[in-house]
Amino acid sequence: MRKLVSFMQVSLDGFFADTSGDLSWAKAKQDAEFQAFVEQNARGGGVLLFGRMTYEMMASYWPSPVALKNDPVVAERMNSLPKIVFSRTLSKANWSNTTLIKGDLATEIPKLKKGDGEGMAILGSGSLVSQLAELGLIDEYQILVNPVALGRGRTIFAGIQKKLALTHTETRTFGNGSVFWCYEPV
């Protein structure tokens, strides 16, 4: 069975986006150690999962000449990996190797997890993460805490109705002040 991982960047006060949806604060200050971590994770395989808003943001950036120039390793992987976008409103998904799924998450995700192949990773997509967390369908939560406080914004787990008990599995602190945490459901 495929593993489903969520990767989310958050502020020190726990927000993945500010009140206007801006994510520009989430660009961690670069240093050699952090860049090596990003590139190592980008080399992994699997399928990327997105909600509509994150998909549109990623699809507008990663195929661009700016992304290919500034971050060629990550851009190459983002553009070449298979991607799935969950949306009831999109009519098509034009980014390379992208499949559009309009079906119900509670039905579609278990089918994807039972499929063959490498794992799946949700990048960002707060609404998707909170819905799948509520359904108990995420196998690991990877959270990168950025050394910035926003004061207000959107939390990863907004809207969940029941307590989500997790077990800590890993912590890594980077010289740029970011901290990487991993948790698995109990």
One digit per residue, the tens of pLDDT, for the chain of length 186 reads 899 999 999 999 999 999 988 888 887 667 788 878 877 775 566 899 999 999 999 999 999 999 999 989 889 999 999 999 999 999 999 999 999 999 899 999 999 999 888 899 998 888 999 999 999 999 999 999 999 999 999 998 988 998 999 999 999 999 989 999 999 999
Q: In terms of pTM, does the model score above 0.85?
A: yes
Identify the residue whose tokens are 């939390």. Answer: 155
Domain residue limits at 40: 4-185
Counted domains in the chain: 1
- The pairing of beta strand 15-17 with beta strand 98-101: unpaired
For residue 85, give every residue at least 6 positions away whose Cβ sits within 8 Å of its Cβ, in sequence order, or none: 49, 50, 51, 52, 55, 93, 98, 99, 100, 101
**Coil, strand or helix: which one is 10?**
strand
Whichever domain contains 91, its CATH number is: 3.40.430.10
Chain centroid to Cα 31, Å, comes to 21
